[in-house]
Structure 1
């Protein structure tokens, strides 16, 4: 059985409301990773109403323009598998890995220092 839903075409042209912004901020995972600007959802949720209104204006301007800010489309992906730390090489499944290499090197006075290189 299929149910038909009638939607006013103009409703998608309307700007988002403050209540919709609050609902969106309340429904996201607060522990998720931040984007390139290093702003976490928890920080957005704890902003005052005046700051949230500025955020809403940015969101609505992007919605009206029909595009997102370019930086909102970028993501940094960091592989955090359960492999042992090793030098560059092939894993047991044949894929090339670049793990973190940890080694001790002496400083100018011969004291060991921990250095990490990728």
Structure 2
């Protein structure tokens, strides 16, 4: 349990700006676009491109990034395994939200249709 608390703290302290380039690389390598990535992030968080850029410029931690977000009401429909853990079983809200984002980026890079990714 102590290991999970350390992991949760580490995730909370990471900056969105440090992870964002990895998301871009991952989706572009698989033939998807930055615009599609932004669409997915906006669906989950409510951030438009300007707000997203602001969080990148300010080097917001994931804690701040998700604290300011308006999480989509259907975010709880995001299920599956990411990093060897079932997203829906993650107890710490912030860690679960970060993994929601990871899962959506993963689905985008795997070529899933946007309607399915956005749970519409």
TM-score for both structures, normalised by structure 2: 0.28
Higher relative contact order (CA 8 A, sep 6+): 2
Which structure shows the higher helix fraction?
A: 2
Which structure shows the higher strand fraction?
A: 1
Q: Is the radius of gyration larger for structure 1 or structure 2?
A: 1
TM-score for both structures, normalised by structure 1: 0.28
